[in-house]
Structures are given as structure tokens and as C-alpha cells.
Amino acid sequence: MSTDLKDKKVGVIGLGMVGNALVNNLQRTGYQVTSILDVNLDKCSPFDCKVAKTPFELTQEVDVVFTALPMPQHVKAVFEGETGILAGLGDGKIWIDHSTTDYEQTEDMNEEVIKQGARMLEAPITGGLEALKKGQMTVFMAGEKPLADEMLPMLEDIYSNVIYTGKMGTALIPKVLSNMLTCVHNLAMGEVFMIGKRSGVDMRTMFDCIRASAGNSFVWETGGPMLMQGTYDPSFSIALQCKDNRLGYQIATKHKVPMEILGHAMQSYNRTLYAYGDEAPCYSSPKMLEEALSVDLRCEGFENWTYSIQNVDGSSVIRHHGIDIKRTKPVEKVEDLL
């Protein structure tokens, strides 16, 4: 196979929101996506690529396989059996899994991949759909360091920030825990907005005050506008968030760490899931508070709001679009900060 990453044939399995954006970002940056696969053929139609019949067929035809699947059982299903990824892997082939899944399952799969003479990276991504569409996501990458170094240029081309976390399994742990932490922030955010509104504080003013204070967070800056829109982030379902919470609970249980705050958030999200169903948006928990108090948290002016992400010194900085906002002049010299 060629040592030039842009000469390699790439295949993508799973064309949901992540997989769709992944194909677009790969093609936009000059990589050869030659084969795709999804159980829903309609999701394949926007792309001028061969639609493989099975994961085995796709894996045989490409040098690098990406998977972006919703649940651990889906990853397992495309991996195993005569028509699975494993059967198609061989010397020199590379599998990169973007799925947020069970890290112990990933470790076991990696052992099987190595036996086939192939190599694997786990690479969960974080940052939200709008950032993903623009190639502004962060990816956590784990696996053998030489392979991570080899694939780094490709991942840096299609994402804004790549963090190598170490041996196989270590990337999924911070990804899952990060997602659990957003639940804590979201629940607290809903309460803060509600207290502010019932106290007579304008919602936009509340949003701006917290943004400028020590209480700010990624969730406040992205989930807050979605709450004021009444959309609650439809790009990620509550079922997927609850799946991540369960994965985090399994990790905490294995390592005997009590989850008092995260555990409370997990049960609150379960309650939201049972109330609104699997496809409810992931930030829907404050909606339960709105309904209980018969107060909605809408705010005019956010109807056309969107966001993008800028990587600044390793941190994800939110840039707001579609709302009237004060822009900060760029700092040209370090001395200007002192």
C-alpha cells in the first residue's frame, strides 16, 4: 500500500450524522472515500461512492476502514462473522472506530485485529454536530503510538484537535465521562435559567452574564441557546446520551468509584428518556422542569442561532452566529495580555 495517506482507499461504515459528516470532511480535504455502507441505503445516496453489500466486502476493498455506529451491539454486529470487518482484515489494513462504545469490548476486538495482521485505533469524537460539519471537532485517539503517529495527519485534516490518550481503551473513557459531565451541566443550567426567569432576569441577560463569569461551560454556551430555542439539541438523542451514561457507570463500578453527582444526573436522564422516548433531544431534561412549573424558557432572538468551535490553546472556544453579539478584538501580542 502507498505510504501517502491521500493515496489510500478509505471506506466508511455507518452514515448517520457522524458518518455523513465524516465522508464529507474526508472528501473535502482530498481523501479517497471509495466505499460506504449503511443499513439504510437512502443514507448512501448523497455520495458518489461504491455501496458495499457487507462490512467484509468493504474492508477487503479499502486500506482504511472507519466505523461510526450508535451502540456497542452495532459495533459488535459489523465486526463479527463471515460478513464482518474482522473477516476482511489482513496485513497492513487499518480500522479506525469513531463509535462511542464499551472500551473493554474495543480492547478485545483489538486483540483479534492484531491476530489478522491488521491494526486498529479507537477515536471517539466530541464537540457537537455543527462543529462536526465544519471539521471543528476534537478526536481522542488511542492505540499503538506508531500507528497513531502515522494516521495523525489524516485526523488533523478532518478535525481541529487530536489528543492521543495512550493504549487501546483509554480514549473512550474520557469521551464517556465528558458526556456524563454535560448531563450535570445541563441539569444545573435548566435550574439556573428557571431561577433567573422567575426572579425577573431577562433570559438573554442571564445568558450573557454566565458566559462572562466563572460559571460558564460548553453546555451553557451551546445548550443554553438550544433551550431558549426550544430545540434541546436534536442532533443527539437522549437514548444515545443514556447509553453513554451506562458506559460511564460500568467504568466507575469496575474501578470502585462512587458516582453521587454523576449517578444523580444519570437517573434524571433516565427519567427524561422514559417520559419523552428514545428520540427526544439530548438536552431535554430542563423541559421536565419547564412543564412542572408551567414556565417556558424561550427567548426571542435565538431563532437563527448556530455555533462553531475554535481550538484555542487546547480548549474548545464557542463562536456564536445568528445572534447580535459583541466581538472581541484579537490579541496580537502576548504582552497585550499582561
Residues 182-208 have pLDDT tens digits of 999 999 999 999 999 999 999 999 999
The residue whose grid cell reads 489482513 is 90
Asked if 282 and 241 touch (Cβ cutoff 8 Å), the reply is: yes
Residue 8: name the closest of 93, 133, 108, 128 by CA: 93
Q: What domain count does the chain have?
A: 2
Question: Within this chain, do residues 308 and 224 fall inside the same structural domain, yes or no?
Answer: yes
- The CATH number that applies at residue 307 is 1.10.1040.10
State the DSSP code for 265: H
Q: Which of 118, 137, 167 represents a domain boundary (last residue)?
A: 167
H helix or E strand, kind and range, residue 286: helix 285-293
Parallel/antiparallel/unpaired status of strands 125-126 and 138-142: antiparallel
Task: Please name the helix (run of DSSP H) or strand (run of DSSP E) that holds residue 264, with its range, or none.
Answer: helix 261-276
Domain of residue 22: give its range: 5-167
Same domain for 224 and 302? yes
Residue recorded with cell 450524522: 17
Spatial distance between the Cα atoms of 338 and 336, rounded to a whole number of angstroms? 6
Residue 333: what pLDDT?
55
Cell of 299: 427567548
Q: What is the pLDDT of residues 120-144, one digit of tens each?
A: 999 999 887 777 778 788 999 999 9
Tell me the pLDDT of the chain (338 aa) as tens digits.
Answer: 345 999 999 999 999 999 999 999 999 999 999 999 999 999 999 999 999 999 999 999 999 999 999 999 999 999 999 999 999 999 999 999 999 999 999 999 999 999 999 999 999 998 877 777 787 889 999 999 999 999 999 999 999 899 999 999 999 999 999 999 999 999 999 999 999 999 999 999 999 999 999 999 999 999 999 999 999 999 899 999 999 999 999 999 999 999 999 999 999 999 999 999 999 999 999 999 999 999 999 999 999 999 988 888 888 899 999 998 876 666 555 455 45
